[in-house]
Structure formats: structure tokens, C-alpha cells
């Protein structure tokens, strides 16, 4: 079956659905192709920075998402053996969104999808996996073929947006080179434990014994833990048996050691994730725009990926409208968007790089930042600027509701 629309978004994650909603409100017809059948899927990362919260609020979806459940965290702490080296106090930032919000991605996506579904120009294609790009001889992209439950689905559009995440199939089909950033390459053992009566109020990255770990409270009633391991070292560790892994985990997360011993009963309780960062060399090509993790990938350090994905969509919205209005599908407004946005993303990647170096250095955090120096650093204007940058990103990116308009009549 063939369909024609104005913009086809591949991937119904935070980047894809935010952009879809903005375009629909500007009278553009949008189809979203999503490989998952429903919202009951595996998500990575639930911490939303103040900047992302503010944009979702301006889109009118934050309150509904929060009502479905989530937890506020006051601080981001970087600790070594019980000593706090960096204290990122979010409560001292300007309000009203001065917290780190731990919220299941599903809650945000449900709200975005419900808002999109209220528009006549919206078509959602779940359980449909993009498998082929339709390009002409000059490599201008005109459409996509997706594999769905009812067979192949061909969708033609004036612009295709690749918002299909870090392993982007569209990026691969378009032959766009991608550079993985070695400094971030880690494996992470990712698992949740019940919080019982002890729900943390801070997002912590800490090194207690052995490899560093990350922890925060995750709705409903759980603690998310991520234990970092050198890339590809897990197989050897796993061969030594579950009890040995639990022992190492207990040493790395001592305040949950008893729970780890009692409540992790099988390898199935643990997920091994390949965590990396990277950037695509090209974000725009005639007929094609890369957005979110597909353009620039982020791991859990600094909790930046969702924020950046939402900001990408908000920043790309006016540029995509200008490209559509230009009539000849001109890529120029989007090229300008990409050049400006790359500067923001590079800035965040540099901060994440420093955070990764502090946390993942084999000699310990103190080999990179001396504890006394770190205590002072946390109070300097430079550090406050870095915290603002992590919390808000580029503050000039705002929802352009002045560009909302009724759909064109046929």
C-alpha cells in the first residue's frame, strides 16, 4: 500500500514524536513509522533535565506525563568512596523546573502520542520497521519502505526525518558515516531493585569498590542501577558465575549489597548494554534530516540524550517549515539548523567527556579531580555555568507557537 504525506518521521521516540506534534500544530501532514508494536518496550534512561521539562510543559504534555508517575531528584552527586566530589544542586537553579525528573519514557511518549492523535493529518504506523530508502539518482530521498504486519508499506514524503535512535537504520541506508567516540565506550550492567522504604532523592555516580556505578529512583518504587564495565569484559566475568558477579556488584553498590545477594536470582535480572557516544558526519541531505540519537548519540552520563532529542525537535521545527514552504524542498534552512545545533551538541559532548574521564578513569576520580579542588570547583562560576549548560542546554531554543496554524484545505 502506498501513502503520501508531507513529513515522514522514522521512530516514535522523544525526538520523533516531539517533532511530529509541532509540525501537526503547524498544519503539516505527518506520518510516524515505529518498529515497536506498542509503548510496552525497552527504554533506556528516564532522567529528564529542567530544559526538557520546560519544553514539554510548553507543549502541554508535562503535567499529564507527571500525573502518570515520576520522582523528583534534588542533586546530581559524583562520589568516590563516600566522599562527594561534585555536588550539582538542582534546587539552587532557577525554577519552576529545578529538579532532575525521573519519569518513565513511556509516560512522556503516551502524552505526546495522544496529542498527535488529535490531528487529522496524523498517521501512526506501529509495528512497521523501515527497511528501504527510496532515493533518486542524485540521492535525494523521496520515501521509505517499511515492513509491517500487513506486508510492505511504502510512504512518500517531501521530507523524511530519521529519529530512529543510536543504531539508526535510516542513517545506515543513506550511507552516512558515523564516528563512535572511543572515550565513552563502556558496557553497563543495567538492573532495577525494589526501593522498599529507602527511595533515593539524588542521582548518584559513585565508586565504592571496583568499577563505578550509577543509581537513581525509578518509578514505580524501584532503584535503577547501572554498573560500568570495560568494553567486552563481561563475558569473562559471566563465566565465573552469578555468585561472583553478585559479590562484585555488592562491593560496587554496598548500600544495596544485601538486596543484590537476596533479590538477584538469575542472569535474566541483569541486562548488558553497550553504551557509547558518537556523531553522524552529515545531519541533512536533500529530503532527509537526522534528529536525536540518530544524529548524535548519548549514553547515560550526565543524562543529556532525551533533553537534546527534544531540543533538536523544537529547534528543527521552524527550519523544517521553512524548507517545506520554500517549495523546492530546499535543504538550506535545515543546513543552518544543523550547523548551529552541532555547536550545542559538541559543547555538551565535551562536558560529558570530562564527566566520563572523571568517573571511568582507572585510577579513580581523584586522579582527575583532587577532592579539595573539586569541593572548590563546585562553588565556582565556571562550574555553575557548566551545571546550567547540563540542566538547560541552549536556552534560546523555545517552542515556536507563533508558527502554529490550521492545516491547508485540499
Binding segment (CB under 6 A) for ligand FAD, from list 4-12, 56-64, 113-121, 355-363: 4-12
User: In angstroms, what is the minimal distance from the CB of 272 to ligand FAD?
Assistant: 11
With a CB cutoff of 8 Å and minimum separation 6, the contacts of 333 are 318, 319, 320, 322, 323, 326
Q: Pattern of binders to ligand FAD over 125-154, x per CB under 6 A? A: ----xx------------------------
User: In angstroms, what is the minimal distance from the CB of 364 to ligand FAD?
Assistant: 23
Using CB under 6 A, which residues numbered 191 to 220 contact ligand FAD? Answer: none
User: In angstroms, what is the minimal distance from the CB of 325 to ligand FAD?
Assistant: 25
What is the separation, in whole angstroms, between the first and last Cα of the chain?
22
Binding segment (CB under 6 A) for ligand FAD, from list 9-17, 338-346, 373-381, 402-410: 9-17
Which one, 6 or 164, has the nearer CB to ligand FAD?
164
Pick from 9, 188, 334, 338 the residue near ligand FAD by CB under 6 A: 188
Give Cα 386 to chain centroid, integer Å. Answer: 19
Long-range contacts from 369-377, C-beta under 8 angstroms, 24+ separation: 369/85, 369/86, 371/80, 371/83, 371/85, 374/78, 374/85, 374/86, 375/85, 377/86
Pick from 153, 219, 256, 298 the residue near ligand FAD by CB under 6 A: 298
User: In angstroms, what is the minimal distance from the CB of 375 to ligand FAD?
Assistant: 26
Distance between CA atoms of 162 and 294, rounded to whole angstroms?
7
Distance between CA atoms of 385 and 30, rounded to whole angstroms?
38
Pick from 127, 238, 273, 403 the residue near ligand FAD by CB under 6 A: 273
User: In angstroms, what is the minimal distance from the CB of 85 to ligand FAD?
Assistant: 20
Pick from 111, 185, 293, 344 the residue near ligand FAD by CB under 6 A: 293
13 binds ligand FAD (CB under 6 A): yes
Which one, 111 or 293, has the nearer CB to ligand FAD?
293
15 binds ligand FAD (CB under 6 A): yes
Pick from 292, 319, 345, 389 the residue near ligand FAD by CB under 6 A: 292
Specify which residues 145 forms β-bridges with. 132, 154
Q: Which residue is nearest to ligand FAD (CB)?
A: 305
Least Cα distance to 271 among 225, 315, 240, 307 occurs for 225
12 binds ligand FAD (CB under 6 A): yes
User: In angstroms, what is the minimal distance from the CB of 366 to ligand FAD?
Assistant: 25
Binding segment (CB under 6 A) for ligand FAD, from list 20-28, 30-38, 355-363, 393-401: 30-38
Using CB under 6 A, which residues numbered 33 to 52 contact ligand FAD? Answer: 33-36, 44-47
Binding segment (CB under 6 A) for ligand FAD, from list 5-13, 110-118, 248-256, 257-265: 5-13
Pick from 165, 212, 287, 393 the residue near ligand FAD by CB under 6 A: 165
Least Cα distance to 48 among 20, 9, 76 occurs for 76
Q: Which residues bind ligand FAD (CB under 6 A)?
A: 10-16, 33-36, 44-47, 129-130, 163-165, 169, 188, 190, 273, 275, 292-293, 298-300, 303-307, 309
Amino acid at each position: 500500500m502506498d501513502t503520501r504525506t508531507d513529513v515522514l518521521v522514522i521512530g516514535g521516540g522523544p525526538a520523533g514524536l516531539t517533532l511530529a506534534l509541532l509540525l501537526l500544530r503547524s498544519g503539516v501532514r505527518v506520518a510516524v513509522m515505529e518498529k515497536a508494536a506498542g509503548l510496552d518496550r525497552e527504554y533506556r534512561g528516564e532522567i529528564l533535565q529542567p530544559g526538557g521539562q520546560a519544553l514539554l510543559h510548553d507543549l502541554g504534555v508535562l503535567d499529564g506525563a507527571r500525573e502518570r508517575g515520576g520522582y523528583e531528584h534534588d542533586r546530581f552527586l559524583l562520589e568516590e568512596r563516600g566522599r562527594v566530589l561534585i555536588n550539582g544542586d538542582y534546587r539552587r537553579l532557577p525554577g519552576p523546573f529545578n529538579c532532575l525528573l525521573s519519569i518513565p519514557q513511556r509516560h512522556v511518549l503516551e502524552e505526546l502520542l495522544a496529542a498527535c492523535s488529535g490531528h487529522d493529518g496524523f498517521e501512526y504506523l506501529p509495528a512497521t520497521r523501515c527497511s528501504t530508502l527510496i532515493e533518486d539518482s542524485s540521492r535525494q530521498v523521496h520515501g521509505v519502505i517499511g515492513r509491517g504486519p500487513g506486508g510492505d508499506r511504502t510512504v512518500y514524503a517531501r521530507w523524511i526525518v530519521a529519529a530512529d535512535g543510536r543504531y539508526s537504520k535510516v542513517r545506515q541506508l543513506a550511507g552516512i558515516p558515523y564516528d563512535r567516540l572511543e572515550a565513552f565506550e563502556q558496557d553497563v550492567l543495567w538492573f532495577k531493585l525494589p526501593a522498599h522504604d529507602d527511595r533515593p532523592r539524588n542521582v548518584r555516580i559513585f565508586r565504592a569498590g571496583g568499577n563505578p556505578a550509577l543509581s537513581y529512583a525509578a518509578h514505580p518504587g524501584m532503584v535503577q542501577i547501572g554498573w560500568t564495565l570495560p568494553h567486552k569484559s563481561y563475558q569473562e566475568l559471566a563465566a565465573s558465575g552469578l555468585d561472583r558477579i553478585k559479590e562484585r556488584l555488592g562491593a560496587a553498590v554496598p548500600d544495596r549489597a544485601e538486596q543484590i545477594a537476596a533479590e538477584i536470582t538469575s542472569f535474566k535480572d541483569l541486562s548488558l548494554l553497550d553504551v557509547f557516544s558518537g556523531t553522524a558526519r552529515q545531519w541533512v541531505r536533500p529530503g532527509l534530516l537526522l534528529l536525536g540519537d540518530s544524529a548524535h548519540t548519548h549514553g547515560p552520563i550526565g543524562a543529556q540524550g532525551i533533553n537534546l532529542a527534544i531540543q533538536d525537535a523544537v529547534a528543527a521545527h521552524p527550519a523544517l517549515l521553512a524548507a517545506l514552504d520554500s517549495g523546492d524542498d530546499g535543504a538550506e534552512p535545515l543546513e543552518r539548523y544543523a550547523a548551529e545545533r552541532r555547536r550545542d551538541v559538541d559543547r555538551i559532548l565535551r562536558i560529558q567527556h570530562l564527566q566520563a574521564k572523571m568517573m571511568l578513569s582507572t585510577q579513580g576520580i581523584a586522579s582527575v579531580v583532587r577532592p579539595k579542588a573539586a569541593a572548590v570547583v563546585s562553588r565556582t562560576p565556571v562550574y555553575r555555568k557548566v551545571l546550567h549548560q547540563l540542566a538547560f542546554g541552549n536556552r534560546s531554543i523555545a517552542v515556536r507557537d507563533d508558527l502554529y496554524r490550521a492545516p491547508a484545505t485540499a
